[in-house]
Amino acid sequence: MELQAVPEEVLADAALIRYLADVARDTALLNGVLMRTEEEPNSSELVTYAPFTLFPTAVPRGVFEQALAVQTHYNLLVDKISQDTQFLEEALASTAESDDFTGRLFNIYRQTTKEGRSQPIVLGLNRSDYMLDQREDGPAALKQIEINTIAASFGGLASHTPHLHRHVLNVAGLRDHSRRILDNNPAAGLARGLAKAWELYGSERAVVMFLVEDVQRNIMDHRRVENELWSRNIPTIRRRFEDVSLDQDKRLFVDGQEVAVVYFRNGYMPQNYPTEQSWEARLLMERSLAIKCPDIGTHLAGTKKVQQVLARPGVLERFFPDRPQVVQQIRDTFAGLYTLDQGPEGDQTVAMAMANPDQFVLKPQREGGGNNIYGSEICQVLEGVKGNSKRMAYILMDKIQAGASQNYLLRRGAPLQLSKCLSELGVFGVYVRQGTDMVMNECVGHLLRTKSSEHADGGVAAGVAVLDNPLLV
C-alpha cells in the first residue's frame, strides 16, 4: 500500500520538478539546512545543502500521534533501566563477553557503580525511531526500530525543514497540503534539557561541553542547539576526547574551565576510542561531578540487547508494575525480537533466521547507521559464528514491511530522478532527573528520514537517507 503526499500529475511534470528542485535547493540554503562538504569536512568556508526530499512524505496522523504520545513513557523506561544494576547485569552479561566494545562500556558501568555515582542529576536526550509496518491491506502499525540514547542527531536541522517543504508545496500550487506539515523545533527542546541540567549544576561559570568527533560535516546540526544555549547566556565549548582532569572534589575541568554538562556527540562507536587515553577520559568523565548526557547506564540502556530483552513477556512490568496502560502503549510499538544467546532458545532463533533470512534483520550492538545485516548475509554471518559465543553480540528482529512512496531525493551532484522510497520516523525525548525527582520529561519534536528502497540500511550521516517531513493524512 502506498500513501502519496502529492498528486501523480505533479510527480510526472518534468519541467515543474526541475523548477521546484531549484527552488528547494535555494530555500534549503536560505534557511540553513546545511552540511559541510565531503571535500572540506572540517571547514565552513565551503558548505552545501543537507540532502532532503523534494516533497514531504505522507504519514497517517494516528500513528504519528501515537509515536509522540509514547515518548515520555520511553523516557521514563530508559531512566529506570539505567538505574537498575541487576537488570543491566542480567541483560548484558553475555553480550559484554562476546562484544568487546559493549564489554568495555560495561566495565566502566560496573566500576563507577561500585565506587558510587558522584552526580545525582541525570540528563537524557533520546530519539526513538520507528517504521510503519504495512501488512497486506490492514492499517499501518507503528513499530520501533531502536532507541538512541547517545548522540541522537538531526534535531537541529529538523527544526528548519518544515518551512522548506511548505514553501515547495506552495510554489507547486499545493497550499492545502502545506497546512498539514506541523511546526517542529527539537533544537529548542534539546537545548531546554541541557539548560535545565546546567542550571541545576549550580555554577554560572561552568560550561556545557559538546564532546565531538574529528570529522564534523554535520556541525550545523550541533550549532543550532549551541546557539539556543548561547541565547540563554550558557557558555558552550566543543572538545574531543583529550585533556580532561578532576580536582579533589571530582569537578571536571578542560583547559582550565569547569564543565557542568558533558554532551556526547561522540563515543558511540569503537572507532571513537582510538587510544587507551580515550577510554581513560571516558572513565574520568563518568567519575566526575559533571552531568553526563548520557551517563554510562543510560548509554547501555540503548543497546540492541536491552531492546530485545525488554520484549520478553513480563519484563516491562518490572519497570511499570502499577501502570498496565503504559506497559501496553510501549509494547504495542515492539517488533518481534529474538535472542541469539547460547542455548536452545538461541539455537531456535538461528534456525528460524537461516530458513527465512529475508524476513529478519540481524543487528549488532552499534549506532550510527549502516551496521545492520540483511538477506543472505544473515546466513553468512550466522554460519561464521556457528557454535561459538560471538553470536551473542547480535540480536535478530523481524523485518518491517513498510509501505513505499514516490519522491525525489535531492543530493549534491546526484541526478534528479523519481525513486521508490521508505521512511523512518524519529521522536525526540528530553528528561532531567535530580535524585528521585523527575524535574523534566517531554517529547520535544520529531524527525523523518527517507531513503531509496534499494538501500537496506543507513542514515543521513551514513550518506543513504535524506531529511524529510511528515505530511499528516
Cis peptide before 270 (omega within 30 of 0): no
* Residue 274 confidence (pLDDT): 93
Number of domains in the chain: 2
Instruction: Name the grid cell of 127.
Output: 530519539
Mark which of 376, 399, 422 sits at the end of a domain: 399
Instruction: Name the grid cell of 292.
Output: 553526563
Mark which of 363, 378, 399 sits at the end of a domain: 399
Judge residue 37's burial from the number of C-beta atoms within 10 Å of its C-beta, 0-12 exposed, 13-18 middle, 19 or more buried: middle
Tens digits of pLDDT across the chain (473 residues): 456 789 999 999 999 999 999 999 999 999 999 999 999 999 999 999 999 999 999 999 999 999 999 999 999 999 999 999 999 999 999 999 999 999 999 999 999 999 999 999 999 999 999 999 987 667 889 999 999 999 999 999 999 999 999 999 999 999 999 999 999 999 999 999 999 999 999 999 999 999 999 999 999 999 999 999 999 999 999 999 878 999 999 999 999 999 999 999 999 999 999 999 999 999 999 999 999 999 999 999 999 999 999 999 999 999 999 999 999 999 999 999 999 998 999 999 999 999 999 999 999 988 766 788 999 999 999 988 877 788 989 999 999 999 899 999 999 999 999 999 999 999 999 999 999 999 999 999 999 999 998 866 656 765 689 999 999 99
Instruction: Name the grid cell of 330.
Output: 510501549
Longest dimension (CA), the chain: 69
Q: What is the CATH number of the domain that holds 369?
A: 3.30.1490.50
What domain range is 395 assigned to? 336-399
Same domain for 225 and 355, yes or no, is no
List the catalytic residues: 127, 146, 148, 153, 304, 363, 367-368, 449
Same domain for 53 and 151, yes or no, is yes
Nearest residue to 192 via CA among 430, 365, 460, 434: 430
CA distance 240 to 41: 16
Nearest residue to 186 via CA among 434, 466, 368, 442: 442
Same domain for 254 and 361, yes or no, is no
The answer as to whether 329 is a domain residue is no
CA distance 467 to 132: 17
Vertex 394, ends 389 and 390: CA angle to 5°? 20
Same domain for 251 and 393, yes or no, is no
Mark which of 384, 399, 414 sits at the end of a domain: 399
Same domain for 68 and 217, yes or no, is yes
For residue 102, give every residue at least 6 positions away whose Cβ sits within 8 Å of its Cβ, in sequence order, or none: 92, 95, 96, 300, 303, 305, 365, 393
